[in-house]
Amino acid sequence: MSDHHGPVPPEPPVGELRRGAVRVTLRLAAEPDRVWPALTEPHALASWFGDFSAPLRVGADTRLDFGDGDFFTVRPTAIVPGRSVAFDWRFLGVGKPQSVVWTLRPGAEEGPGSGSVLTVEDHDDTRGPAEAAQLLDGWADFLTRLGTHMHTGRNTRYQWRDDIDGSVDLPAEPFRPLRHPAVLDWLPIAVDGFRPAWFFIVDDEGPRRFAVSDWQLRLDEELTFTVEIPDARTHPACRVSTAPAGPGRTRLSFVHHGWTRLGLAQGRAQELRRRFAATWVASLRTARDKATTAGTGSLGGTD
């Protein structure tokens, strides 16, 4: 996310990796009473963060949409007016729940006239170093957008991401999502004889299929393939993988690259990204449901 709008805030965010948490802090020239609405009011959040489907209320679920198919389901757990907002959220509604706290305080002990300091802490004990570093960069980007918005009054939201990505945690046994034929039970892939040939999405126009190429499946480890978009300059490449996610758990993850580089009209490219994102969300839900209900038979595929 690098499409900042307008001048950057006077000071960039400062991040640090802690055990089980990512912490990012931003100093703002605005006083806390000016910053607080930008953290809690949907119309203000929409100017730098995303669109909330409902106001933030403790215990009430809402959804944070970014407009490109990405979203979080959000449940506020504590709100101290003027001081802090705590919430749990799940990326794409299926990711591992993570706990986030925004804390706002005056910029100095003497109070008014010193600006304010906003700190974000994002907690998850299961993150690896690479994921934590990526998340730190993500929060630094969001807070930079907040700071620029407060500094200029402009809308600073990012437009859309090049990647569609996500993950879901599954029971480790007996369902094996990266084995044949189980991989075809949760991915919207149709075969032509014995060869995976088509990736299906469903939208207002009904089912649509896109040719699949470069299919490579490594048992229980990784699947890679390319989806061919008609008239596109480049074709989005996908990688699906599994990794341990704690005792008795497996994390099924995917990343689908190349959506901002299709060379199509922007509106068409963005709509394709939204529809593919929705299809991936449905696929992760299907994998979760099949893993949850799997018995001890051959549902996980063959060796």
Q: What are the backbone angles phi and psi of residue 164, rounded to the nearest 5°? A: -105, 125
Q: What is the pLDDT of residues 121-135, one digit of tens each?
A: 999 887 888 888 999
pLDDT of 125:
80
The CATH superfamily label for domain 164-293 reads: START domain (3.30.530.20)
Give residue 110's pLDDT.
55
| Share of residues in the chain with pLDDT > 70 (%) | 92
- Given a cut of 70, is residue 47 above it in pLDDT? yes
Per-residue CA distances from 171 to 13, 223, 246, 252, 288 (Å):
38, 19, 10, 10, 9
Mean pLDDT across the chain: 91
| pLDDT confidence of residue 143 | 97
Comparing 88-92, 97-101, 157-161, 252-256, which segment has the lowest mean pLDDT? 157-161
Cα–Cα dist 182/160, whole Å: 32
What is the per-residue pLDDT across 2-34, written as a single tens digit (0 to 9) for each? 444 444 456 899 999 988 899 999 999 999 999
pLDDT of residue 112: 65
Q: What per-residue confidence (pLDDT) applies to 302? A: 44
**Model pLDDT for residues 259-298, shown as the tens digit of each residue:** 999 999 999 999 999 999 999 999 999 999 999 998 545 4
Q: Name the residue with tokens 């929060």.
A: 139
14 or 205, greater pLDDT: 14
Q: For CATH 3.30.530.20, list the domain ranges present in the chain.
A: 14-152, 164-293
**Rounded Cα–Cα distance for residues 166 and 131 (Å):** 12
Highest mean pLDDT among 17-31, 196-210, 223-237, 284-298: 223-237
> Which tens digits make up the pLDDT trace of 136-152?
999 999 999 999 999 99
- Say which CATH topology domain 14-152 has: Alpha-D-Glucose-1,6-Bisphosphate; Chain A, domain 4 (3.30.530)
**Beta carbons of 143 and 149 less than 8 angstroms apart:** no
Which amino acid makes up residue 11?
E
Q: Let me know if 283 is exposed, middle or buried by CB neighbors in 10 A (0-12, 13-18, 19+).
A: buried
Give buried/exposed letters for 100-111 (b at 16+ CB in 10 A, else e): bbbebeebeeee
> Does residue 237 sit in helix, strand or coil?
strand
How confident is residue 109, by pLDDT bands cut at 50, 70 and 90? Answer: low
**What's the mean pLDDT in 39-57?**
97
CB of 49 within 8 A of CB of 149? no
Which has the closest alpha carbon to 215: 244, 174, 184?
184
Task: Place 63 in a pLDDT band, splitting at 50, 70 and 90.
Answer: very high
| pTM listed for this prediction | 0.88
Q: Alpha-carbon distance 237 to 193, whole Å?
A: 23
- Helices 32-40 and 129-152 pack at an angle, to 10 degrees, of 120
Residues 6+ apart with CB under 8 A from 36: 81, 82, 104
Residue 66 CB contacts under 8 Å (≥ 6 apart), including other chains = 50, 51, 157, 158, 160
Distance (Å, whole) CA 149 – CA 44: 10
